[in-house]
Structure 1
Amino acid sequence: MEQFLWLIPLRFIVGTFGTLIGAGGGFILVPVLLLLYPGQSPETITSISLAVVFFNALSGTIAYRKMKRIDYKSGLIFSAATLPGSILGAFTTSYIPRDIFDGIFGVLLLGASVFLLLRPKKEGDLAKEVPKGHMRRTLTDAEGNTYFFSYNPVVGISLSLIVGYISSLLGIGGGIIHVPALVHLLNFPVHIATATSHFILAFMSLSGSVVHLASGILSKGMWQTLALVIGVLFGAQLGARLSKRFHGVWIIRCLAVALGLVGIRIFIMAF
């Protein structure tokens, strides 16, 4: 009963903060669930987290759709690209020494966190001439703000493959990696990146949840999943609304803090 009481504030935090930064909230959920339910297997905890992230991403996507901040064309392309990476990540988990990988990846995340804190994204206008091979995008949101940007689709697809692979291998939400990649490597405006990341995350988490449901793993944590889902649905709506009040730079700084926390956790797990 005591554990269920902790789920009440947890579900709102996961829904609100995860949607605000476009990361889904799995990076918060997994370590807390491991502490609350030490008797549950890591596979069950991961399945609970992934299912909750799906409903969080779905609710956030609905909210961001109303704001007209989702780049659907790019989102569908990147969603398709994450699937092979996810499969490859699941296949190679038994071949790569986990402690070595976790140590290296933890350091990389900490480095990315410092980079984002020191160099938050500055919004700029699209160059008059779009580089050859780049895909040009123009979006106007519900408030009348128009965003111009372009990116190399080959780089975007390659990054999505990597995100899908790492997410499957480490069991963390892909949004926490995808958002800074979209912003700093693909020139996405911050608000478009967080919204599109949530759209992509809905597809990624759904595919994984279907596998966990079919294998019976998710059924072991069904009650915890239902308790968390109710809260994240509302938290995600709040997170999307709060994004209107946050400048893109502050969203990136929040994401940097989240990256740092995940990096520390993964690095400690390596030892």
Structure 2
Amino acid sequence: MKVTVKVPGTCGELVQGVIDGTNFHITCPIDIYSYVTVIVDERFKEIKSNQVGNKAITAIQKTFSYFNYDGGAEISINSDLLRGKGMASSTADIVATIIASTLAIGERIDIKLITEIALSIEPTDGSFLAGIVAFDHLQGKRLIKLGEIDPIPILIFDIGGQVDTLNFNARSNLARLNLLREREVDRAYKLVVEGIQIGDKRLIGQGATLSSLSNQAVLFKPYLTKLLELAKVEDAILGINVAHSGTLIGILVNNQKDSLEILSKIKSNLPRLNHLITTKIINGGYQILKER
């Protein structure tokens, strides 16, 4: 059996923090993907890969172990997502591997099982879940489907460097800092939820901006203040989001035709800020591309 699955990456999160003692984020999936192909054949005796990372290997091993499958497989990953930036690249690889390997050995997809295996490997983004969700990326205690959205154009910038997700979440001061920003995070959460429910993209942008600002005490983003100043005078800018544990800044734009003009103004005002890509925020969820 050969199966190919794709899972979207992210531009960080729309909101991230702690409410009532539970870690969570609101997903910000984008139209950029990781593609994983798993081939299972009774002649295979081991897991072979095309330079696949250890996390994907661990994912297929844990999946096979759960289903008591003792054969081998060939796995390949083709990803358009950058590492260490906050694009949920590892989540996309891991989850796509779990789904592809599950289907390749003839088993059924179980979202709860996928979540449990992924979380046993590392903190996990909810981008593989349908629509936009609030999700506990550390323990899976919270999963709330907030709804569906129309695509939102987004300009994605990178401040440089990399952030290791495991090290970030192991910081000794993280719990204290999240507690201090809980009120702002709660307000941001409510704004985004309302925006999704009534289809108001500007409310979504306002909530994302509030969460981004409150996260400056946790992981500071240079350029954010100047981008906010620009957003105040440019009606086409809906808001600003960040990778709360990464290096990305996203500019949510009202429509596609305004993207070039806003990009030009940002480049003029902040020439050192690296523009990675212009894409769109979409509804999350995995897709099975091939199964034979």
**Which TM-score applies when normalising by structure 1?**
0.26
> Is the radius of gyration larger for structure 1 or structure 2?
2
Question: Relative to total residues, which structure has the larger helix share, 1 or 2?
Answer: 1
- The higher-RCO structure (CA 8 Å, 6+ apart) is 1
**Which TM-score applies when normalising by structure 2?**
0.25
